Amino acid sequence: MCSKESESVKQKIFKGSGVAIITPFTEDGINFEELGRIIEDQIAGGTDAIVITGTTGESATMSDEEHRQAIKYAVEKVNKRIPVVAGAGSNETAYAVELAKHAEEVGADALLVVTPYYNKCTQNGLVAHYNKIADSVDIPLIVYNVPSRTGVNIKPETYLKLSKHPRIVAAKEANGDLTSVLRTRALCGDDLDIYSGNDDQIVPILSLGGLGVISVLANVAPKVAHDICQLYFDGKVKESAKLQIEYTDLIDALFCEVNPIPVKTAMRLMGYNVGGLRMPLSEMEEANLNLLKSSLKQHKLIC
- Decide if pLDDT at 3 tops 60: no
Kindly list the catalytic residues. Answer: 144, 172
Instruction: Give tens-digit pLDDT for 23-46.
Output: 999 999 999 999 999 999 999 999
Assess if residue 161 is contained within a domain.
Answer: yes
Q: What is the CATH number of the domain that holds 48?
A: 3.20.20.70
pLDDT at position 246: 98
- In the DSSP assignment, the letter for residue 196 is E
Could you tell me the residue range of the domain that residue 182 belongs to?
Answer: 16-237
Q: Give the chain's domain count.
A: 1
- Decide if pLDDT at 4 tops 90: no
Assess if residue 39 is contained within a domain.
Answer: yes
Distance, in Å, from the CA atom of 210 to the CA atom of 208, rounded to the nearest integer, reads: 6
DSSP-derived pairing of the beta strands 110-114 and 84-87: parallel
Distance, in Å, from the CA atom of 75 to the CA atom of 97, rounded to the nearest integer, reads: 19
- Decide if pLDDT at 1 tops 60: no
pLDDT at position 7: 44
pLDDT at position 10: 81
Backbone angles phi, psi at 109, to 5 degrees: -85, -25
Assess if residue 134 is contained within a domain.
Answer: yes
Short-list 197, 203, 204, CA closest to 224: 203
Q: What is the CB-side half-sphere exposure of residue 18 using CA atoms within 13 A?
A: 32
Assess if residue 208 is contained within a domain.
Answer: yes
- Give the type of residue at 125: G
